[in-house]
Amino acid sequence: LGDVYKRQELKTPIALIQGYAEGLQEGISDDPESRAFYCDVIVDEAKKMNRMVRKLLTLNHLEFGQDALTEEPFDICEMLTTLLNSSALEMQKKEIKVIKQYPASCMVIGDEFKIEEVCTNYISNAMNHVNGDMRICVTLEEQEDTVKITVANTGDPIPEDSLDKVWIKFYKVDKARTREYGGSGIGLSIVEATMKAHGKDYGVANVEGGVEFYFDVESADSESVQC
């Protein structure tokens, strides 16, 4: 199944780049605006292809154990706030309300760079699929020796037969909408590979009024850390 999606997703930007480049080569239009449009499409598709290739390389390294984990203590609340702040302008443009249900600080242990990628993918996914009340809620919950991070968004539920497939490379529940925001269908596969490398739980569930994604990370000190 993954190979089918991979062939389709790789073919699409290549076909567009080739088609528009050939159009320019053949002088399909002498209108400067049309030519500029053709060039914009080529550049945009090339950028998408570049992002897809970089994500595929990251995923391959994770899946084949070529990228060793560097597990150290870090403040996951500080990380979440930084990521949300960096997305604040886009959130405002889309009129998304962000609800932060986590403390000022909470120390965990893990590969900070890779966990940041997980958080980034979850937040981006929520931003791309939020609908209805236009709310995104980021929650932290301490559970014995782990900390659970949840990113939820209001909007349409994921079809039940797709819930266990969202982690598959290039799988897209709504292909038209994913194409609209330029998604590659690789982000959640990176999440899965990262959490498996950490040996921690992760998942997705339909909830009342929307969808939530979650993952666990080891608490730096389950006895003393107050989250």
* Strand, helix or coil for residue 1: coil
Which of the two residues, 47 and 182, has the higher pLDDT score? 47
For residue 53, the model assigns a pLDDT of 67
Measure the CA–CA gap between 86 and 104, rounded to whole angstroms: 17
Mean pLDDT across 125-134:
95
For residue 225, the model assigns a pLDDT of 38
pTM of the model: 0.72
Mean of per-residue pLDDT scores for the chain: 82
For residue 43, the model assigns a pLDDT of 79
Locus of tokens 């391959």: 60
User: With pLDDT > 70 as the criterion, what percentage of the chain qualifies?
Assistant: 77
Q: What is the pLDDT of residues 60-83, one digit of tens each?
A: 666 666 567 889 999 999 999 999
Cβ neighbours of residue 10 closer than 8 Å, sequence gap 6 or more: 52
For residue 9, the model assigns a pLDDT of 55
Report which of 50, 45, 53 is spatially closest to residue 15, judged by C-alpha positions.
45
Which of the two residues, 12 and 150, has the higher pLDDT score? 150
In this structure, what are the phi and psi dihedrals at residue 89, rounded to the nearest 5 degrees? Answer: -65, -45
User: Checking DSSP bridges between strand 71-75 and strand 97-101, what pairing results, if any?
Assistant: unpaired
